Amino acid sequence: MSLPRPPRCWNGQHGWEEWNSLNKMADDTNGKSPDHYCTDCTPEYQAQMKAAGRCEHPEVKFVQIVERYRRRARKETKTNSLRGVHSEKAGD
């Protein structure tokens, strides 16, 4: 499978190939071309790319990552980390 072109926000072909390779090793793509690179973005980088006219998905919002696990009772822990989500999925 050949890689799609890197998004405009990406700095360099080598990094794009490496990111895709890591996704493949993590088996995170189900054999499909990954399109979730915005998940790894940050609000600061998005702002830089918007200012430079290089953000292809300015609709992406950033939500706090919540860790959910179950031992005796379901527990949720809010982290200090954010992930990018397309705005129609932000409520998920």
State the pLDDT at residue 85.
79
Report percent pLDDT > 90 for the chain. 24
Q: Does the pLDDT at position 80 exceed 60?
A: yes
Domain ranges within the chain, ordered by starting residue: 13-89
Q: Name 22's bridge partners.
A: none
With the CA atoms of 84, 88, 90 and 92 taken in that order, what torsion angle do they form, in degrees rounded to the nearest 10? Answer: -120
pLDDT: which is higher, 42 or 24: 42
In angstroms, the CA 12 to CA 73 distance is 46
Ranges 16-30, 40-54, 62-76, most confident: 40-54
pLDDT: which is higher, 34 or 25: 25
Distance from CA of residue 86 to its chain's centroid? 10
Write down how long the chain is.
Answer: 92
Closest CA to 41 of 90, 89, 82: 82
Express each pLDDT in 27-60 by its tens digit.
766 666 566 788 888 999 999 999 999 999 999 9
The 3-state DSSP class for residue 92 equals coil
Mean residue pLDDT of the chain comes to 80
State the pLDDT at residue 90.
44
State the pLDDT at residue 54.
96
